[in-house]
């Protein structure tokens, strides 16, 4: 129901621009014809395939129920007719989405509902501002990737005319993760993804798009991450891959600044650690360098910089043995 109220707001208060720079007004673009009959024509651009969360069968049923709701009926002006036509965006494919959008435009649609899959939505979103004298608005529950949360106020914006009605996007999930890391003062993480999982949510490469969004905002927040694409495992199991992505590529470099002064002079421990750090970076290792301070226990240090597993009693004993701690 609220989707229709949003649609009415878009029609009533939205100020649209002519992105083509030329007037190509068609009579069918007017909501009311010469006989005074007012009709809003909507196009549902969604897949018939019911494996997708947003599909024609479910959404069309929801629209039929919404149109019977008293609040929706009162929201529409008296005498205004609302009709919709369905267009199959086969398997949420971007090419089929563009074809469906053009067909809907030729059928004089005033508004597009969908697509909901990100690649399909991106393809239609880029051309919708050129369809019609002032563009054709898109209302969608999709648009999860970070590209869709950018401003969409003018013709210069990539997805101008696109309105996201969904309450959640990948950016929101990314900052949920970032807030958790800030809360526990964690500084690094391993991002594990199966790129083609969850395609029923946002179509092709849903998890890949989510991971790209995560990476985009993790970089902005200066949080170190290691990406792990499970489809490039080379026949190794998860245990073997964890050894590669954590043990082999993740190194904790602990140093005591005044150590080895008798061999290296002042700040010998720091000089030795910085040299080791340089060569580890050259060899492609991810390195965390940490100075040992009397004011900070080893357990607290490992908990902050590595995590609970290494801060356990067993983990501490292992690190102590490795670095000669008593």
For 139-191, how does the pLDDT look when each residue is reduced to its tens digit (9 = 90+)? Answer: 999 999 988 988 888 999 999 999 998 778 999 999 998 999 888 888 778 88
Query: How do residues 100-130 score in pLDDT, each as one tens digit?
Result: 999 999 999 999 999 999 999 999 999 999 9
Confidence of residue 325 (pLDDT cuts 50, 70, 90): very low
Neighbours of 191 (CB within 10 A): 16
CA separation for the pair 133, 139 (Å, rounded): 18
DSSP letters along 37-95, please? -BEEEEEEEE-S-TTSSS-HHHHHHHHHHHHTSHHHHHHSPTT-EEEEEEEE-GGG-HH
Query: How do residues 259-283 score in pLDDT, each as one tens digit?
Result: 766 666 667 777 777 777 777 777 6
- Beta-strand relationship, 111-113 and 138-140: parallel
Give the bridge partners for 88, in sequence order.
46
Q: Which residue has the tokens 């109220």?
A: 5
Confidence of residue 232 (pLDDT cuts 50, 70, 90): confident
**Residue 237 exposure: Cα atoms within 13 Å on the Cβ side:** 1
CA separation for the pair 247, 266 (Å, rounded): 32
Confidence of residue 17 (pLDDT cuts 50, 70, 90): confident
pLDDT at 278: 77
Q: What are phi and psi of 81, to 5 degrees?
A: -100, 135
Mean pLDDT of 54-60: 94
| pTM given for the model | 0.70
Q: Rounded to the nearest 10 degrees, how much is the dihedral formed by the CA atoms of 118, 123, 129, 135?
A: -90
Mean pLDDT of 275-302: 70
pLDDT > 70? residue 250: no
């Amino acid at each position: 129901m609220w989707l229709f109220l949003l649609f009415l707001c878009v029609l009533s208060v939205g100020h649209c621009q002519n992105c083509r720079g030329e007037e190509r007004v068609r009579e069918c673009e007017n909501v009311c014809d010469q006989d005074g009959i007012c009709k809003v024509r909507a196009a549902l651009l969604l897949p018939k395939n019911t494996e997708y969360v947003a599909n024609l069968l479910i959404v069309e049923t929801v629209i039929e129920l919404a149109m019977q709701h008293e609040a929706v009926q009162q929201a529409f002006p008296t005498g205004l007719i609302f009709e919709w036509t369905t267009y199959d965006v086969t398997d949420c494919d971007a090419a089929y989405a563009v074809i469906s959008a053009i067909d809907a435009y030729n059928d004089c649609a005033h508004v597009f509902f969908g697509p909901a899959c990100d690649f399909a939505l991106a393809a239609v979103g880029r051309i919708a501002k050129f369809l019609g004298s002032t563009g054709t608005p898109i209302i969608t529950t999709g648009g999860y990737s970070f590209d869709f949360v950018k401003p969409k106020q003018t013709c210069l914006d990539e997805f101008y005319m696109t309105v996201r009605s969904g309450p959640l996007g990948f950016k929101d999930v990314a900052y949920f993760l970032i807030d958790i890391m800030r809360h526990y003062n964690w500084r690094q993480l391993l991002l594990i993804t199966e790129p083609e999982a969850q395609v029923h949510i946002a179509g092709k490469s849903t998890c890949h798009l989510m991971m790209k969004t995560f990476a985009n905002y993790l970089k902005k927040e200066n949080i170190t991450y290691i990406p792990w694409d499970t489809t490039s495992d080379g026949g190794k199991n998860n245990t073997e891959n964890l050894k590669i992505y954590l043990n082999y590529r993740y190194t904790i470099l602990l140093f005591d600044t005044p150590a080895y002064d008798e061999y290296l002079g002042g700040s010998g421990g720091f000089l030795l650690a910085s040299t080791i750090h340089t060569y580890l970076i050259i060899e492609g290792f991810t390195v965390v360098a940490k100075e040992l301070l009397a004011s900070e226990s080893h357990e607290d240090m490992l908990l902050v910089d590595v995590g609970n597993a290494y801060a356990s009693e067993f983990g501490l004993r292992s690190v102590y043995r490795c670095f000669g701690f008593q």
